[in-house]
A and B are shown apart, each in its own frame.
Chain A
C-alpha cells in the first residue's frame, strides 16, 4: 500500500484567488482585517476605561499614605503588589512584570516558529510552537492566580463608613475603590485572557497538524504565519493593557 498525495492545481485566474491584492494571500488579509476589528473592540474597552477614570477623583496625596476608598480611583501600585508564595510582601507590579515578560517571550518563540516554517524546517516549527504553547499556558495560569487574589482581596481590606470592612472585589463591591474599577479589570483582562485561551487552542491545533505533516505536504507553513499574526496581536493588546491599566 502506498500513500500518494494529490495536490490540486493552484488557482491562478483573477477571480479564482490568483489575484492577490496588496501582495498578501486571502487568508493573511482576512486575518489582518479580523485583527483590525478586534483592535476596535479592545480600543472601545480602553476608551471606556479612560472615560470612567477621568470622571472619578484621582488620588493626589502622598502614595505612602494611600488607603483604599470609594472616593477616588486607586493607584495601581497599591492594588497589584502581591506575588505568589510571598504573602504580605509589598512588591508593586512585580507579578505583572513577570506576566509581561512571559507574553513577550511567547511572541518571540512564535515568530521563530514562523521563520522555521519559511525554511520548511518541520522540527524547528514543532519545537518553537511547543515553547509558545507552554508560555501561553503559563500566562493563563498567572492570570488565574491574579484574578483569584483580586477577588479574595488582601489582609487589610477597605473600611466602609458604617465601620464594616470589605475584602476583595466583585462586580458590585470592591475593596480597591469604585466598583467600576473592578468591573473594568474583569472585562479588560478577562477579554484579553479569552483571546490568549483561544490562541493556545489554535496553537495546539496547528501543532498537531505540523506533527502530522499536513503543512509539509501542502508545501508551505502559511497557517503557522496566520495563527502567528493572531498571537502577536494578543501580545500587542497586552502592551496597551499593561500601560493603561497597570502603569498610568
Chain B
C-alpha cells in the first residue's frame, strides 16, 4: 500500500525546472530599496523631503510585493482596479487626516491660550 502511494506521486511525469529568476530579482530590488532607506535615515536630516523620499520608496516596495509576489500585475485589469481604487481612497484619507492633525494641533495650541 505504501509503495502504491509513492507510485502515485511519481506518476505525474517530469517535473519542470523552477522558473525563479523574476522572484530573486524582486527580492534584490526589495533589499536594495530598504538599504537605500537606511542610507537616507542616517545621512540626511529629518524633514519633509526625507519623509517624502521614504514614502516614495515605500510605494515602490509595495508595488513590487503586490505586483510580483502577489501576482496582481498579471491578473485581469478589472481585478487590478477593484483592488487599487479603494486603496487610493484610503491613501487620500490618510493625507487628509494628517493635514487635519496639524490643524488640530494648531487650534489647540494657539486658539485656547
A contacts, CB < 8 Å to B:
1-3, 21-24, 29, 32, 36, 39-40, 43, 46-47, 50-57, 63, 75, 77, 92-93, 97, 100-101, 104-105, 107-108, 110-112, 115-116, 119-122, 124, 213, 216-217, 228-229, 232-233, 235-236, 239-240, 242-243, 247-248
Contact = CB atoms under 8 A, between A and B. Distances in A.
B interface: dominant SS: helix
Interface of B: 1, 4-5, 8-9, 12, 15-16, 18-20, 23-24, 26-27, 30-31, 34, 37-38, 41-42, 46, 51, 54-55, 57-58, 61-62, 65-66, 68-70, 75-76, 78-79, 82-83, 86-87, 90-91, 93-94, 97-98, 100-102, 104-105, 108
A50 B91 CA distance: 12
A113 B1 CA distance: 28
B108 A51 contact: no
A interface: dominant SS: helix
A105 B8 CA distance: 33
A192 B96 CA distance: 24
B94 A239 contact: no
Contacts of A93: 38, 41
Contacts of A233: 70
